[in-house]
Amino acid sequence: MGYTHVVVKGDYTDLASGSVLRSAPGFPAFPVRLASEIFLRALTLRGGDAPAVVWDPCCGSGYLLSTLGLLHRAEITSLVASDIDDEALELARENLGLLDPDALEERAKALEDRAERFGKPSYLEAAEAARRLSASLAAQGGRLPTTAHRANVFDPTALRTTLGGTTPDIVITDIPYGEQTTWQDADGAGVPEMLRAVASVLTDDAVLAIAARGRKVLLDGSCRPDQSFRIGTRAIALLRASNLSTQTNQ
C-alpha cells in the first residue's frame, strides 16, 4: 500500500536534517513525507476535527516531531518528546525550540554569521530556508508549545510523570532498530511491551503509530493493528489505545 494522503511528492529540502534542524552522528533522520503520511492517517483514525497533542516516546533528536510541527502546525496543539538518552534529549530540545518564528529568525541570523565567517554558501542557503520555515509557521498559527523529558518507554510511572497531565491524542515513533539506535534499559522487552506501557497512560481514543525497519512491525498476538502498511524500508502499524487497554486488562 502506498501513500493515501501525501500523494504528491513535495520538496522537503528546507527540512533536511543538519541544515536548519540540527543533527548529530548516531541520530537518524526520519523520511519527511512518510512522517506526514503517518500523522495524517493517525489523525483520520482518531477522528474528529480538533487539533492533536502529539507524543514521541522514543524521540531521539526530535527530528520526526519537529518536521511534523513545521508541516502541520494548524493540526497540532502541542508536541511532547521523551527519551531515555540524555544526549538525544539535548538535541531534541534544540530542534523543538525552533518551532517558533522568532527562534527560526535567530537561527537564520546565526547561519548568516557562519556564512560570513567561513565563506560557505551552504550556510546562506540554510538561512534562507530558516526564514521560509519561519514565515510558514507564522502563517499556520505561530509558535508551537513543546516539552521534552527523560523517561524509560517501558515504565508507565515515568511516562505518566513525563506527560504531566497532558493527554496526547496521537503517539508517533520510529522504534530503535539496532543500526544507529538501540533500546536502553529494556530488560528483554520489545515493541508489544512498549505499546502496552504507552497505552496505559493514554485515553482510549488515542492512536499509536509505530514505524520500524523491515517487512512488518513485530507485534504479538495481543497487539493487533487497526491499520498496517509498508513504504520503502519501513513498516508502520496503527493501533487504537482502547484496543491495547482492553488486551492489557484481560
Set of cell numbers at residue 34: 512518510
Residue 135 sits at φ, ψ, to 5 deg, of -65, -40
Count of beta carbons in the 10 Å neighbourhood of residue 192: 17
The amino acid at residue 120 is: K
Which pLDDT score is estimated for 190? Answer: 80
Which pLDDT score is estimated for 180? Answer: 36
Q: Quote the CA–CA distance of 3 and 38 in Å, as a whole number.
A: 9
3-state SS string over the chain?
Answer: CCCCCCCCCCCCHHHCECCCECCCCCCCCCCHHHHHHHHHHHHHHHCCCCCEEEEECCCCCCHHHHHHHHHCHHHEEEEEEEECCHHHHHHHHHHHCCCCHHHHHHHHHHHHHHHHHHCCHHHHHHHHHHHHHHHHHHHHCCCCCEEEEECCCCCHHHHHHHHCCCCCCEEEEECCCCCCCCCCCCCCCCHHHHHHHHHCCCCCCCEEEEEEECCCCCCCCCCCCCEEEEECCEEEEEEEHHHHHHHHHC
Set of cell numbers at residue 225: 493493528
What residues contact 4, with CB distance under 8 A and at least 6 apart? 37, 41
Query: For every one of its 250 residues, what pLDDT tens digit does the chain have, with 9 covering 90 and above?
Result: 689 999 999 999 999 999 999 999 989 899 999 999 999 999 999 999 999 999 999 999 999 999 999 999 999 999 999 999 999 999 999 999 999 999 999 999 999 999 999 999 999 999 999 999 999 999 999 999 999 999 999 999 999 999 999 999 999 999 875 433 444 555 556 888 899 999 999 999 999 999 998 888 988 877 889 999 999 999 999 999 998 854 444 4
Of 42, 67, 6, 38, nearest in space to 230 by CA: 38
Angle between helices 241-249 and 191-199 (to 10 degrees): 100
Which pLDDT score is estimated for 1? Answer: 61
Contact 3, 33 (CB under 8 A): yes
Which pLDDT score is estimated for 13? Answer: 97
Angle between helices 121-140 and 63-71 (to 10 degrees): 60
Of 29, 33, 30, 31, nearest in space to 7 by CA: 33
